[in-house]
Amino acid sequence: MLAIAKKEFNAFFQSSTGVLIICTYLGLNGIFLWLLDVPFNLIESGYAQLDGLFMLSPWVFMFLIPAIGMKMISEEKRSGTIEWLFTKPVTEWQIILGKWIAGMLLVVFALIPTFIYAITLYNLGNPIGNLDFGSLAGSYIGLLLLASGYLAISLFASSITENSIVSFVTGVLFCLFFYIGFEQIANLNALKFSALFWMKLGMNEHYTSISRGVLDFRDVVYFIALSYAFLSASKTILKSRNW
């Protein structure tokens, strides 16, 4: 499993995909958080907090993470190298988890430079150091859990097709639905009586809760269960070998 993760992670940088993903994420953050006069702008907010980063990142990740995962399985199936993998002493679970670990490592590498934002706001605060580290830590944990769910969904989308573009589009649509789709269902007049139930099925409700700095066990379990469900579905598709 770790060998697969290492191979997949190295492949990101051998093909420049990893550098492109990281640069795109940091570039979009830099533009929206520091340059443009938009609600995400950190300087214009007037507070020493990184809320703008954690409001913007779910939407940026909604496109970047499916881009990370779109070729992970679909390209292996298209080129036939997946058959070579099955000749090795690895299980379907190890293949899926290895690729998921590689994707999550790339996400972590993309997030590490954003610590500079926290350091900058720490020094710009009045007084200096006026930064809520509890909320900051919770927000980063929430973002990693959200990324885990996005990546699991993207791997599932990659496992059901041999076409990388189809995989990308499917991954984006699935991530969009799980992030805000259930909220839209909850807003339907016919379902107002069960609105809370539908809200709890969506990622945004749990991500927002964690971002407040309160690490609720139920929110963590939600993301773990969601990731496990889609990774299991990907494993089942690989095991069926109907392609």
Query: CB neighbours of 237 closer than 8 A, spacing ≥ 6?
Result: 156, 159, 160
What mean pLDDT value characterizes the chain? 86
* CA 152/CA 204 separation, integer angstroms: 16
Are 230 and 155 within 8 A, CB to CB? yes
pLDDT (tens digit, 9 = 90+) per residue, 128-148?
A: 666 777 778 888 999 999 999
Give the sign of the dihedral formed by CA 176, CA 177, CA 182, CA 185.
positive
Whether pLDDT at 243 is above 60: no
What residue type is assigned to position 2 of the chain? L
The answer to whether residues 45 and 55 touch, using CB atoms and an 8 Å cutoff, is no
Report pLDDT digits (tens) over 159-208: 999 899 999 999 999 999 999 998 888 888 777 778 888 888 999 999 98
pLDDT tens per residue across span 2-38: 788 888 888 888 888 888 989 999 999 888 887 777 7
Measure Cα distances from 214 to 48, 133, 206, 211 in Å.
19, 12, 11, 7
| Contacts with 196 (C-beta within 8 Å, 6 or more apart), sequence order | 186
Tell the burial category of 33 from Cβ atoms under 10 Å away from its Cβ (0-12, 13-18, 19+): buried
